[in-house]
């Protein structure tokens, strides 16, 4: 069993870092299994093998703990690679998203779609940061496509990416089936065709 010092005094690469990683993992697992309404600090502590007093001392409460866990997702974004073509870039990015969504972090984030969780300032802030970081990175795909003269210069990058990932989120949210690489490829192909045709240019 860990003491409060294990969590409250960070030592990169040491026991404190390992304990914190176990706590963050436990947060995601707990969210997936019971959802936000039943999410609790004692349950996370039990799952992580840490004294609950240590968690209250380090984080203060369940919402602060949850926000910290979500921040770890912001710091580990899906980075779009340069494959040499618009469709290749979109396909690679869509496949990465399709892998992320049914994973532990992706399912935990989707579990926070409940009205109770959405109303929390800490959750709103973390989700906004996740969304913002993805936006900034995914715009690189369209910037490269413009440089290659594959799409019009006034192509709206955010609209392109929304069109790309919407089928993946829809599949997971409304059918509970994980998005597949095939779905990612089809979405990338359709989005690339539309973008090249100027469907996402400024009106």
Q: What pLDDT shows up at residue 11?
A: 42
Domains of the chain: 4-72 (1.10.357.10), 78-196 (1.10.357.10)
Q: Is 43 helix (H, G, I), strand (E, B) or coil?
A: helix
CA distance 40 to 153: 49
Q: Do the Cβ atoms of 167 and 179 come closer than 8 Å?
A: yes
**What's the CA dihedral at 38, 40, 45, 51 to 10 degrees?**
-140
DSSP assignment string, 107-162: HHHHGGGSHHHHT-HHHHHHHHHHHHHHHHHHHHHHHHHHHTTSS-TTB-HHHHHH
Residue among 48, 28, 50 at smallest CA distance from 39: 28
- The whole model's pTM is what? 0.73
pLDDT, block means (10 residues), the chain with 203 residues: 43 68 91 86 93 91 83 74 96 93 80 72 74 84 96 96 92 84 97 97 86
Q: Residue length, the chain? A: 203
In this structure, what token pair is assigned to residue 137? 């990175």
């Amino acid at each position: 069993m860990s003491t409060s010092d294990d969590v409250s005094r960070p030592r990169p690469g040491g026991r404190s870092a390992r304990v914190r990683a176990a706590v963050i993992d436990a947060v995601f697992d707990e969210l997936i299994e019971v959802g936000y309404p039943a999410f609790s600090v004692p349950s996370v502590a039990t799952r992580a093998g840490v004294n609950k007093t240590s968690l209250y001392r380090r984080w203060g409460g369940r919402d602060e703990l949850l926000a910290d866990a979500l921040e770890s997702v912001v710091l580990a974004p899906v980075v779009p690679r340069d494959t040499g073509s618009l469709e290749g870039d979109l396909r690679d990015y869509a496949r990465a998203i399709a892998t992320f969504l049914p994973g532990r972090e992706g399912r935990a984030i989707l579990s926070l779609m409940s009205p109770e969780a959405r109303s929390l300032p800490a959750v709103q802030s973390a989700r906004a940061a996740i969304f913002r970081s993805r936006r900034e990175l995914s715009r690189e795909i369209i910037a490269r496509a413009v440089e290659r003269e594959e799409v019009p210069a006034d192509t709206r990058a955010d609209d392109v990416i929304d069109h790309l990932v919407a089928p993946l989120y829809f599949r997971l949210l409304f059918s509970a089936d994980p998005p597949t690489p095939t779905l990612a490829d089809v979405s990338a192909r359709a989005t690339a065709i539309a973008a090249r045709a100027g469907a996402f240019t400024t009106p």
